[in-house]
Structure 1
Amino acid sequence: MTLEPPFDVDAAASMLRALANPMRLAVALRLLQGSCTVATLETELGLRQPNLSQQLAELRDAGVVSAERQSRNMIYSLADDRQRRLVQALLLAFGAQTASQASVQRPVSRPQQQAAVFARIGTG
Structure 2
Amino acid sequence: MAATWDDVSAIARDLPSAEEGIRFDDPMWKVGKNVFVWVRPLRRRDLEELGDAAPTGVIIGASTADIGERLALIDEDPRAFFATSHFDNYAAILIALDHVDPDRLREVVTDAWLARAPKRLAAEFERGLAR
Same fold, TM-score > 0.5, yes or no:
no
Q: TM-score, normalised by structure 1?
A: 0.27
Normalized per residue, the structure richer in strand is 2
Higher relative contact order (CA 8 A, sep 6+): 2
Q: TM-score, normalised by structure 2?
A: 0.26
Structure with max Cα Rg? 1
